Amino acid sequence: MNTIDVFSPIDGKLLKSYLVSSSDEITESIHLARDAAQLWADKTVKQRLACISILKQKLVTDCDSITDQIVAVTGKVKTEVVIGEIYPLLEMLSFYENNATKILAKQSVSTSPMAFPNAKAHYQYQPFGVVAVISPWNFPFQLTLYPLLSALIAGNAIIFKVSELSLPIGELIMQLIAELDLPDGLVHWVVGGSETGAYLIDQRPDLIFFTGGHATGCRVMASAAQHPVPVILELGGKDTMLVFADAHKQRAVNAVMYGAFSNSGQVCVSVEQLYVEQTIFNSFVDQLCQAANKLKVGHGDKGDLGVISSKAQLALIQSHYQDAIAKGAKASGPLSINGSYVTPVILWNITDDMRILQEETFGPLLVVIPFDDETDVIERINKSEFGLSASIWSQNTSRAEHVANQLEVGNWAINDVIKNTGHPRLPFGGVKNSGFGRYHGAEGLRSFCYTVSGLISQSRYVQEPNWFPYSNNSYQAMRAYLDTLFSSDNLWYRLKRNWPALRYYQKYSALHLTQHWQNFIIIILRKLN
């Protein structure tokens, strides 16, 4: 039996060993989930919400113990856990409690009286069935539970896989799930790393919700394409902050500290590149360096920045720093690494060939670049392969909004940073190499359903005008129908030239006018001659 040992990123001690799920267990989980999905989908949205309703209170009352468990696995500071791992879930649950029924309600649509006389039409949202949620290590609790709960509310069963670095969080999630009033077999946790994730995809869940790096996302999509299974990909970013000279400077400096260094920069929407208008560049960099020097590393309730949770990430941060310095970057200080703690560094004198400008760093390094011209800086930002999020800082919010609307990103904020991505009503997701598909908000809840469209005909005719047999008359009638409906000249002229051919349809309901009305139309048309 394979096992995975999970070590504390704080002191390297063994936290716990986990048995990797066998292929038989994963296959069995899919079968059980598929059976349970049927029962669950039959419940109303209100009933589903009632079944999970105690979770909100649990997250509040057990906040300390949940926080401690997340701190032990990730090495985050406690406030970071409450803000980033717990609070967004509470906002989401409250929003869906009040709105999910409406969001997922059947939608009636009007039908053309000519094409579908007296018919009724609607569309409705059908849960996919079994949703596989695959999540990363940086916010292992929130980034698993947010899609998991959204998919549940939408009526699906779930198989989830947390990162191999975060297995105790998978266990914690299963403990919380066990306290909910859910049908047996509705939620399953599979334990493992990349092979387990790949095997899970090959078992053909009905939807894959993947959050992780770009390279893994491409592999997930390639495997999913073999079946095919639809995928939503929430991938990495290289987020930008753009500061104009008229910005509120102290607020912008403090925001940079938070945007670039919260969770030690291990946030998909971390600010990794900061563009500052040339006229304030030097003084702004001075202020940034002073502010960065005041930040403290620590864990638990001490410090602002926790550890770098993954050893591979630590090595990448070091290589980005060394590459930039070797190519002429200036830095606020040396890259100070103590165990897994890394103190934040501001870098400037940046050139395009530096890796730190091309690749996601996912650590506490921030590059600062001056700009003169608005159009040039927008063009430069849009050259990035990533397109997750951006923030624009100016007291002229109309100008900032104009700039925001030209950026190729899935999310933006003006005069705020990161917090916007937790807004429960705003759909969240990326473009370009940052992925596609949305969760959060109304659109995000519907992402866990496919749309089914329905039409109810009221016709009692044995034949519809578009059915066989075809003839020259049917062709001329169809031409006349298109000309009457879609040409742009006056309706009377359209009717006048097409009426003879349109009479082909008179036996059908759309033109089943009484003889009296037909005669009336003919008289009017003759008068128009």
Which residues contribute to the site for ligand NAD (CB under 6 A)? 134-138, 143, 161, 163-164, 193-194, 197-198, 201, 211-213, 216, 219-220, 234-237, 268, 360, 362, 388, 430, 435
- Cα-based angle 192, 26, 446 (whole degrees, multiple of 5): 90
Query: Quick one: which H or E segment has residue 451?
Result: strand 449-456
Q: Select the residue whose beta carbon is closest to ligand NAD and give its number.
A: 197
Three-class SS state of 495: helix
Q: Which residues of 186-209 are buried (b: 16+ CB within 10 A; e: fewer)?
A: bbbbbbbeeebbebbbbbebbbbb
CB of 179 to ligand NAD, least distance (A): 24
CB of 219 to ligand NAD, least distance (A): 4
CB of 393 to ligand NAD, least distance (A): 23
Cross-strand pairs, 18: 4
CB of 309 to ligand NAD, least distance (A): 9
Tokens of 383: 């050259």
Residue 18 CB-half CA count within 13 A:
22
203 or 394: whose CB is closer to ligand NAD?
203
Q: Which residues of 291-330 are buried (b: 16+ CB within 10 A; e: fewer)?
A: bbeebebebbeebbbbbbbbeebbebbeebbebbbeeebe
309 or 394: whose CB is closer to ligand NAD?
309
What is d(CA 371, CA 242) in angstroms, rounded to the nearest whole number?
9
* 517 exposure class (CB count in 10 Å sphere: 0-12, 13-18, 19+): exposed
48 or 432: whose CB is closer to ligand NAD?
432
268 is catalytic: yes
What is d(CA 365, CA 347) in angstroms, rounded to the nearest whole number?
7
CB of 421 to ligand NAD, least distance (A): 8
What amino acid is encoded at 3 in this protein?
T
What is d(CA 334, CA 207) in angstroms, rounded to the nearest whole number?
45
What amino acid is encoded at 261 in this protein?
F
136 or 441: whose CB is closer to ligand NAD?
136
Active-site residue (options: 51, 80, 164, 268): 268
211 or 498: whose CB is closer to ligand NAD?
211
CB of 364 to ligand NAD, least distance (A): 15
Active-site residue (options: 234, 272, 359, 360): 234
97 is catalytic: no
332 or 434: whose CB is closer to ligand NAD?
434
Provide the pairing of β-strand 187-189 with 157-161: parallel
As annotated, the active-site residues are 234, 268
